[in-house]
Amino acid sequence: MHTYLTQGQNLTLASSIITFCILLTYLIYAIHPSTNLIQPPLDTDIKYNSSLTTQLPRPTTKPIQEEPTVPLACQNVDYQWLASDRYYWDGWVSKTMFMSPDGSYTEANVKISSGESICIVVLLGPIPASSMISPRKRFGPSDSIVMKAVGKQSKIEINLHQSPERSNVYFASITLFHPDTFYLQSVTEYRSYFWETPIYHAYRPFSFRSINRLVVMPAESKKTILLPCDASRSEHLQGSWRTNTRLNHIHNPEAGVASVNEEYTFVPDLCYRPFGRRPTDECPRFQAIHVWGDDHIKRNLKALEDPLWCEGGPKVNLDCVCNNEDNNANGSHWENNPNVPLVLNSSTVGITSFYYNKLGSITLKDWREEITLQASLLPQANVVILGLGNIDIGLSRMLPSQFNASFYDVLTHMVKQVYPHQTIIVKAPQYFGNGVLQNSAWNAGRSVAFSIVVEQAVHSMGDRVLLWNVRQLGMQDMTCSFAGTAYTKSNLVPLENELLSSLVCMHK
């Protein structure tokens, strides 16, 4: 005997099925809002024209996720035990610590002598939405963590590496050269690659401190002759931000200091640089320099033009400190006309002209034809400076992998077609630190990922292409997120220019 539904019952059943589907879709979105069942494709509305790609073969890139080389100080750490132990860690609340010099776990304060290295470990709680992580290629670790070692006289930003054994374990080795007592201050901003598309994920940072402290004691005094800093060597960009009060007390002229803000001064660990030179002071053969980039790199040129740019004491205009504005509302000629150079005249080496050419997003527009045309209208360049990525980081629907494709196309075009013989200096995207900007996708994880794209591209291009790694100088205190911009404070710009001076003058 068959049971037949009336027309009304059929309508009720259909309505129930539709309601169930809607509820199921809502639950999926609540669990993982970035799923493609809800959101439109990330590359929607992207206007980038890749028609020239077939003419310019893209170079082979490095692997996206290389396993980090475990530093000596961390080689004896048992990451599996740390992550699985439930006597010292409950497995839920994030935890960070200084390990003992032999790599063993301790909750007591750790002591080392200045110049020695120590391992740092971070343990994160359960991985959210791990089954929803897509298998596509990615740049950077899955979790966005901002960490610094804070002492009484100095601060040090720390770059963490994700353990290949346990994805919720991070480590780093740091070497400290100045006696002090440090604790670790950490902020976890996003998990499970949510930093890639922050538009779909709420910003819920979690702050935590280390369970112990590190005491750095004075080492046996010995005379060390420091070499001049070379900005092309990453180890020469390592250092600490030291309090000005402490520096005035123990200032060592051989250490060299750089840009000073109201509290801290950057001191390199392993080199000496006679700061104060402009990139043209000792480079007589560089008469014409072509500059391509966004407003971040224009601030560098402003500081070259006027060493007192944006200096005015405590009442200086915040739009100047944390933006691209100054007292001249109309800007200089070179800012608005790429055919009019910024001219620097040195009494020792003559005149150097900077031709500034503004570029916007390279993922929304293909600039290669315009670059070729504009370069042909300018005097032949001796050196080329390129600064890209900051605008694209802020685009909420733009993935690092999309920027990677566009950046390789642009850089390859400049290296092989436009400037086949010149030295090309590529400025890394800015350090950002923790926090978010309204109506923008800027966050620490994206800043790291886009910087990795630029660094890998530079290293694949050969010796003529150099990395201007301003991001290595980053510190949260020097960022402008409090003012709603992705710029660094203006008093860091002269230090960035010192790195540029090193790259231009020491690699002529």
Cβ(268)–Cβ(239) below 8 Å: yes
| CATH classification at residue 135 | 2.60.40.10
* d(C-alpha 406, C-alpha 66), whole Å: 22
Residues 144 and 252 in one domain: no
| 245 found inside a domain | yes
| 258 found inside a domain | yes
Residues 362 and 394 in one domain: yes
Q: How many domains is the chain built from? A: 3
| 14 found inside a domain | no
Cβ(416)–Cβ(455) below 8 Å: no
Residues 362 and 484 in one domain: yes
Residues 234 and 343 in one domain: no
Least confident of 126-135, 253-262, 284-293, 362-371: 253-262
Residues 258 and 300 in one domain: no
Q: Where are the alpha helices (DSSP H) in 331-367?
A: 333-336
Predicted pLDDT of residue 299? 93
Residues 395 and 410 in one domain: yes
**pLDDT, tens digit (0-9, with 9 covering 90-100), for 446-479:** 999 999 999 999 999 999 999 999 998 888 888 9
* Cα–Cα separations (whole angstroms), residue 313 to 58, 261, 308, 508: 48, 11, 11, 37
Cβ(270)–Cβ(226) below 8 Å: yes
Residues 500 and 466 in one domain: yes
* d(C-alpha 405, C-alpha 410), whole Å: 9
Average pLDDT over residues 140-156: 94
Kindly indicate the confidence band of residue 312, based on its pLDDT and cuts at 50, 70 and 90: low
| 283 found inside a domain | yes
Residues 425 and 338 in one domain: yes
Q: Which two tokens stand for residue 489?
A: 């404070």
- Per the listing, tokens 């960490």 go with 147
* d(C-alpha 172, C-alpha 176), whole Å: 13
Residues 348 and 290 in one domain: yes
- Assess whether pLDDT exceeds 80 at residue 19: no
Angle, vertex CA 437, rays to CA 204 and CA 145, nearest 5: 45
| 248 found inside a domain | yes
Residues 372 and 398 in one domain: yes
Rounded (10°) CA dihedral 241, 244, 245, 248: 110
* d(C-alpha 68, C-alpha 164), whole Å: 8
Predicted pLDDT of residue 271? 85
Cβ(414)–Cβ(424) below 8 Å: yes
**pLDDT, tens digit (0-9, with 9 covering 90-100), for 242-264:** 887 555 544 444 444 444 445 78
Structural domain for 257, as ranges: 225-276
Other CB atoms within 10 Å distance of the CB of residue 436: 16
